[in-house]
Amino acid sequence: MIEGDGIGPEVTREALKVLTKVSKKLSAPLEYNKLDVGAKRWLRTKETLTDKEMDAIAASDAVYLGAVGDPKVPPGVLERDILLKIRFELDLYINLRPCLLLPGAFTPLKGKTSSDINFIVVRENSESVYAGMGGVFKRGTPDEVAIQEDINTRKGVDRILQYAFEYCEKRKHKKKLTMVDKANVLTHAHGLWRRAFEDMGKNFPGVARNAIYVDAAAMDFVRRPEAFDIVVTNNIFGDILTDLGAIISGGLGLAASANLNNLPSPDLPRKGQVCRGLFEPIHGSAPDIAGRGLANPLAAILAAKMMLEHLGEATAADAVEKAVKKTILEGKIFKKDSPDLAVPTSEAGDRVCSYL
Ligand code: IPM
Ligand code: MN
């Protein structure tokens, strides 16, 4: 468990309350340890994640993370050397981001209900501009050049498409997979995605497929979210679109995510790797509201629920999900017509616990 920065410790505290309670109720032992990782440690020691800590993470069943990022640390240090390091070194190439409007939660989209906003984004999580390739030439001079390369490998694209098609086939919904790209401009990179999508699609006759451009997708998330079932896209588009997906489905305070690897063990990159999942709310560390009891812990609690599912604890996951739904339906934790909390962070967590 990494509480991290900003609101990270506040929201993970509530998720831990929920996990502890559900583990007691079901007599399913919960074992965890906290890593002191994040801004405070970096400011003290200039350390982010040590090799020893990476080994401990790789040997655990799952990682649970609050948030990283702090205005006192240069941008990218904590993000790249903690969060992205775990995603990349464990090759957690799937980033699952549900955009489900739970009944009673607020959407700013007029006339849309939970049956309209019910889709899941499968974000490629191991390539694209996130790979960190490139560099700066003649830095700080008028001739400065900065290059950040967009990496798209056939293997990387195929595996995320395969996961998305399988997920879509399994999901009891529209059986419709939408790929989001920019193939009209990024003809090399997204030409590859389009070819891979067509090829792979032939193996999934039960799944309807369509490919749309990212600009149009942004519009349709707002205009007609009911058009989506499973959305598959690259790392950077997935990052951007899922903030939009979050705000239409109850706000950042409700949006959870799972970073996964489902490949056979010999394909895992790290020696001794057991860990195949990192679970986190998709919101950041929100330093502007940190420490004031304003942060909604439900995203963190729903991330814990995704972790329980991953660990094979279906009963526990179900119980947590039901408790969250009841807490929202009760109608007391949000301000009227708003995604903002009406009660302190800890009370929201207590209410979820009371329904367990
Ligand atoms: C997210 C975050 C991260 C990302 C940052 C913190 C590196 O925005 O999980 O969406 O860009 O992936
Ligand atoms: Mn993001």
Active-site annotation holds for 239: yes
Predicted local confidence at residue 297, as pLDDT: 98
Mean pLDDT of 218-230: 98
**192 and 319, same domain (yes or no):** no
**150 and 242, same domain (yes or no):** yes
**263 and 245, same domain (yes or no):** no
Q: What is the CATH number of the domain that holds 154?
A: 3.40.718.10
Centre of ligand 1 from the C-alpha of residue 79, in Å: 7
pLDDT tens readout for residues 185-216: 999 999 999 999 999 999 999 999 999 999 99
**234 and 281, same domain (yes or no):** no
The residue range of the domain holding 281 is 1-93+255-356
pLDDT tens readout for residues 53-77: 999 999 999 999 999 999 999 999 9
Centre of ligand 2 from the C-alpha of residue 9, in Å: 19
Q: Which ligand has the shortest distance to the CA of 67?
A: 1
Give a yes or no: residue 175 inside a domain.
Answer: yes
**80 and 161, same domain (yes or no):** no
Give a yes or no: residue 285 inside a domain.
Answer: yes
319 band by pLDDT with thresholds 50, 70 and 90: very high
The whole-model pTM stands at 0.97
**320 and 229, same domain (yes or no):** no
**Residue among 93, 4, 3, 14 nearest 302 (CA):** 14
Give a yes or no: residue 99 inside a domain.
Answer: no
356 band by pLDDT with thresholds 50, 70 and 90: very high
Centre of ligand 1 from the C-alpha of residue 84, in Å: 8
Give a yes or no: residue 114 inside a domain.
Answer: yes
The mean pLDDT of the chain is: 97
Query: Final residue of a domain: which of 249, 282, 305?
Result: 249
46 band by pLDDT with thresholds 50, 70 and 90: very high
Task: Return residues with CB closer than 5 A to ligand 2 (ion).
Answer: 239
**312 and 214, same domain (yes or no):** no
**234 and 317, same domain (yes or no):** no
**111 and 244, same domain (yes or no):** yes
Give a yes or no: residue 120 inside a domain.
Answer: yes
The rounded percent of the chain whose pLDDT value lies above 90 is 99
**163 and 119, same domain (yes or no):** yes
Structure token pair of residue 67: 């948030």
Given the residues 64, 130, 163, 167, select the one marked as catalytic.
130
Beta bridge partners of 230: 120, 177
Active-site annotation holds for 170: no
Domain count, the chain: 2
The rounded percent of the chain whose pLDDT value lies above 70 is 100
**218 and 333, same domain (yes or no):** no
**233 and 259, same domain (yes or no):** no
